[in-house]
Structure formats: C-alpha cells, structure tokens
A and B are shown apart, each in its own frame.
Chain A
Amino acid sequence: MVEHADKKLVTRLLQGDRRSFDAFFNSYFLRLYRFALVRLDHDHDLAEETAQEVLCQAISKMATYRGEASLYAWMCTFCRHEIARQWKASKRARGDTALREDDPEIQAALESLLSVTSYYPDAALHQSEVSRLVKVALDHLPTLYADTLESKYVHGLSVREIAQRIGRSSKAVESILTRAREAFRDSFRSLIHNEQRDLQVGQCLSSVIE
C-alpha cells in the first residue's frame, strides 16, 4: 500500500526539515524499541540501541524508500536484520524470536488492515499473549491514533484532557477516537484472524475470538 503521508515525510526529512525529523523520531523510535524489546529477551538497553541503529540505517537509506510499504513496515525489516546481527554478535544461543506477527501473511494483514470477525478477550490463560497482541496492533496504527487510545483507555484521560494535551478541540479528539477505534479494530482482528491459521495458537485463541 502506498503511504502517501510517509513519502511526504521522507521527502521533507531529506530536505533537512527539523520538524519532520522530530515527527519521524516521535512516531517511530518507541515503536521500534518495543518491536526489538520482545525479540531481544526484554533486554532494554539492547532494544534501545537497536532502535537507534535502525533509525540511523533507515535515514541513510531513506532516498531508496518507494512507499510500497508503510514506513514502519519498511523499518521493521531493518529491525529484523539488526536483531539477527545482535544475536550473532552476542554469540548467545538464539531462542525462537520469530513472533506470530513476523509471519508474512500476518504482516500483510496488518499492513492492509483487513476487517474480519468479532472477538471477545476473556481467556485469562492467554492474558499476556493477548496483551502483547493488543500492543502490537497499537504500534501498527498511526502514532496519534495509538497514543490517543492509550491516553483514554489506559491512562483514563477524558476527551477534554486529551484535547488539552495534544492541542486539539474536544470535537477533534472525539473524531480521532472514532477513527482510531476503527483502525484498531481492523488491525487487531486481522492479527487474531491470522492467528487461527496457526494450529496451536488457533486452538488457544479460539476462546478469545468466539
């Protein structure tokens, strides 16, 4: 999917626009950090270093970005290379760091944000996995959407408080929340839907999505 906004951001970054750099960093650093964190045994320092390295790599190669995938998905490719390099460099036995969302089909699904069935998360047994997938789904949304959802539903801020925090009107925040919820629903359903293709996980999650 061509990400027009991403291409515009890249163009401005390459022109040396400082505000675009800040937007770029704010949008992607923590997402890549979290992406690396779960794949590096929750080594926070290493994940931080990896996120920095990946942003630097992406900046160096930014002129080659064509917009065929979202900027985030494009950088996740670098992140996977970097994580593999970290494992190799540390000479540690590599555990199975391939996560479900690393599956190409699931990546594609997240990319296109397909809509599928409904879900009801209630399986305590899979609490940590569902939590992780929710966070993965949030990280695949535009930063504004994800942050707004988190502000409201995790930190419990009111619409008015969010509006003050991000400098928008309450009406605008309500609109953002509506769109963010839709985007999240699509993203998460895609993730869960594709989980079903994995027999083991499919069985585990059947209670979640039925």
Chain B
Amino acid sequence: MSKSFEKNSEGAGDMDDIGRLIHYAGARETISPERLEKARQRVGTHWEHVVAEQRHNRGGTRFRYVAVAASIVVAVGASLLLWRAVDVPPAIVSASVDRVLGEVMLADQVAGKGDVIGVDTLIATSPDSRIALRMAGGQSLRIDTSSQLLLHSSNHVSLQAGGVYIDTDTASNPLPIMVSTPFGVARDVGTQFQVRLAASVLMVGVRDGVVEVAQTGQRSLSVNKDRFVELDMNGKKAERVLSTDDPSWDWVETVAPEFDIQGVSLKQYLTWYAGQKGIALVWADDASQAKAEGIELAGSIAGTMLHEGLLTVQQIAPFDYRIEGDTIWVKVE
C-alpha cells in the first residue's frame, strides 16, 4: 500500500519540481507478482535454451547440434540462418520429438518426429505408445507406455503417471533435470535414470551417476548407480541392486532416439550405442580403436531397434563384438 506523499518523513516541503511532477504522474503500470514470476520462468527457460545451444555450438558434437538446431528451425518455420532474422519470434522451446512409437498426444495434438514442444505441455502416451524427446539442453528424455508427463521447462518435468527415463549424458553442458512427482522430487547429478509412479509408491532406478530424491518432511536421499529404490510418502521403503541388463531397462531401448550413421565413424556409432545401452565400450586392442575411428559409415539404420541397428552396422563394417554384463567388447578387423 502506498503511503500518502504528504506523510513522507522528508515532508512535502522536500518535494521539488521533479518530485511534484513524478508524484502528479502516479505509479507506473505493473503486473501481479505471480504473473511476473511466470513470465520470468518462461523467459528464463528460453535463456537457458539459448545458453545451452551456444555451448553446444562452441564445443559440440555435430550430431547434437543438428538435432537441436533442426527443432528450432521447425519452430520458426525458417532456415537456420533465418533463425537470426529480426521479424521471426522464436517459440519458447523446451524440447523436440526425437522418436515416436504409436500415438502420443502433445496437449491436444498427435506427436510427430521433429515436433517442437513448448513449456507447460502435457504429454500423454497410450498403453501401446512411447516417445523420446530431446530437451533444449541436449538431454534425452523417454516416456514409457501409459504415462502422463507435464513439461514445465527444459529442465523441469512433472510425472503424473507411468514412467520416464532420463539420460543427461547426451548433453555437453546439461542443467540438472528435476522430475516432480506426488511423492517427491528426483534430481539428477549427471546420470541415466528412470522414475516410475505406481499406485502408492515412487520407484527410482539409476543406471549411471547419482540421483537425489527430496521429499517433504524427509531427509534427501541419494540413489547411486545400479540401485533401485521404492519410496512412499514416509520415505524409503525398499532398495535393491539394479543391474544394467535388468528387464526394467528394456523399454528404454525400444524408444531410443534414432542415430544417423551417414558419414560418422564406426567409433562414434559404437560409443553412442554403448551410451544408449548404459554399458562401457572396451576395445580389444589399440588398433581396433584406431581402425574404428577411420571407418566412415554410410546408409541408414532409421526405424530399427537399438540392437537391430548394431547388427545392421555390423553388415557394413568389419567388426566383432560381445556383450558381457555391463561391457561391450569390440574388435575391429
């Protein structure tokens, strides 16, 4: 509440011409703190996206650059160069669609590959559909069947039903991603993890790195690599080992983003493959690694499942592999 000017402790006599003029004009228009905060969040999300994009471009992998830049081009309906044009307002982008299996709804629209997703979009998968998103910061986010997820911004989502998998290893300089649930908030510390809601529990499984879970009235809980915890409103209920080849990870592979092999080296592809599987890539010898670096792939593995893609690449590149536990061993001829 504004005080009367006359009650100013300096007194009316303190007011010079400028004071009278400003007093006479009255307060400038403003908006409510709630709306101001919402605007700050929206602009802030866009700023985070631009900063992440710049970092990406400076030291980034070409693949990631193209993926994110493409989504922006779709957003503004123009070429990459036009993205800089003055008259084209950029959308406030949180993510873009990397891959869709079945019919997935983005608010009231059916999702398609390459679609750009703005802030505050509800994403709903059916019992037979899944979707993979590329967040503005470069992270990969995959949503399992029968799920509902609200995308607040490029680094904050709310899981309302079902399961979500997040891989922040794919981003060069990722901001942490927060997953809010009715049971608490899971926040990554550079990792691959999934969060799932069941009737009365929250399940968090970590394939790599660490996830912190914060619950109201409870001490923050760290979930480490290869661990699985179940929580309810009162905190941790159960914990067990979760190996890399546990069946609970299988769905993640089915909706892995597609990889364009055209022009990339065998080493790049295998590194990506291992990252998607959450396993370590080990070369049989130094020569194998050197050769893999020099082999350039051609063609496409679009539309294949993760392992089918590997088999396809093996038909065009001379290498053997075996997967043991959390390692893929590769020998290049």
- Summarize B's interface: helix, strand, loop or mixed: helix
Partner of B51, one of A14, A25, A34, A132: A14
The distance from the CB of B135 to the nearest CB of chain A, in whole angstroms, is: 16
Instruction: Tell me whether chain A's interface is mostly helix, strand or loop, or mixed.
Output: helix
> How long is the Cα–Cα vector from A77 to B86 in the complex, in angstroms?
10
> Which A residues between 50 and 104 are near B, CB-CB below 8 angstroms?
51-53, 55-57, 59-64, 77-78, 81-82, 85
Complex contact B39–A48 (CB within 8 A): yes
B26 touches A25 (CB 8 A): no
Given the contacts A30-B31, A53-B89, A130-B25, A59 and B43 also touching, CB distance less than 8 Å: yes
- In the complex the two chains form, what is the Cα distance from A14 to B31 in whole Å? 27
Which residue of chain B lies nearest to A139 when distances are taken between CB atoms in the complex? Answer: B28
Is residue A41 contacting chain B, with contact meaning CB distance below 8 A? Answer: no
Q: How many residues from B make CB contacts under 8 Å with A?
A: 47
> Contact: B28 with A135, CB < 8 Å?
yes
CB within 8 Å of A: which B22-63 residues:
22-31, 35-36, 39-40, 42-44, 46-48, 50-51, 54-55
Bound complex: CA of A184 vs CA of B55, how far in Å?
40
Interfacial chain A residues near B27, Cβ < 8 Å: 150, 154-155
Q: How far does the Cβ of B116 sit from chain A's closest Cβ, in whole Å?
A: 14
- Assess whether A56 is in contact with B3, with CB atoms less than 8 Å apart: no
Q: Are B28 and A138 in contact (CB under 8 A)?
A: yes
Contacts of A152 on B, CB cut-off 8 Å?
8, 10, 19
Contact B89 A153 (CB under 8 A): no
Given A60-B90, A85-B89, A120-B17: A131 touches B39 (CB 8 Å cut-off): no
Given contacts A37-B29, A134-B22, A135-B25, contact A61 B84 (CB under 8 A): yes
Q: Are A184 and B8 in contact (CB under 8 A)?
A: no
Bound together, the chains give a CA A157 to CA B1 distance in angstroms of 11
Say yes or no for A142: interface residue by CB 8 A criterion.
no
Q: Which residues of A contact B315 (CB under 8 A)?
A: none
B84→A156 contact, CB < 8 A: no
* Chain A residues positioned under 8 Å from B47 (CB to CB): 13, 21, 59
Contacts of A7 in B (CB 8 A): none
Q: Does B199 contact A (CB under 8 A)?
A: no
Determine which of A61, A121, A132, A161 lies in contact with B86 in the assembled complex, contact meaning CB atoms within 8 Å.
A61
Give min CB distance, A107 to chain B, whole Å.
Answer: 17
- Residues of A within 8 Å of B25, CB to CB, are 130-132, 134-135, 138, 154
Tell me which residues from 164 to 185 in chain B have a Cβ below 8 Å from any Cβ of chain A: none
Shortest distance in angstroms between B183's beta carbon and chain A's nearest beta carbon? 28
**How far, in angstroms, from A30 to B205 measured CA to CA in the complex?**
44
User: Once the chains are docked, how many angstroms separate the CA of A78 from the CA of B48?
Assistant: 20
CB pair B23 A56 closer than 8 Å: no
On whether the beta carbons of A30 and B30 are closer than 8 Å, the reply is: yes
Partner of B29, one of A34, A55, A59, A156: A34
Docked CA distance A94–B30 (Å): 25
- The residues in A between 140 and 163 inclusive whose CB is less than 8 angstroms from any CB of B are 146, 149-150, 152-161
Q: Is the CB of A56 within 8 A of B4?
A: no
CB pair A56 B43 closer than 8 Å: yes
Closest to A62 in B: B50
User: Known interface pairs A14-B54, A29-B40. Does A60 touch B83 (Cβ–Cβ under 8 Å)?
Assistant: yes
Contact code string A28-56 (vs B, CB < 8 Å = 1, else 0): 01100110010000001000100111011
Top 6 A-B pairs, shortest CB-CB distance: A134-B25, A158-B9, A156-B3, A153-B22, A131-B25, A16-B51
Query: 17 A-B residue contacts at CB 8 Å?
Result: A14-B51, A25-B43, A29-B40, A33-B30, A34-B28, A44-B31, A56-B46, A60-B46, A78-B86, A131-B26, A134-B24, A138-B25, A150-B28, A152-B8, A158-B8, A158-B9, A184-B22
Q: List B residues at the A interface (Cβ < 8 Å).
A: 2-10, 15-31, 35-36, 39-40, 42-44, 46-48, 50-51, 54-55, 83-84, 86-87, 89-90, 92
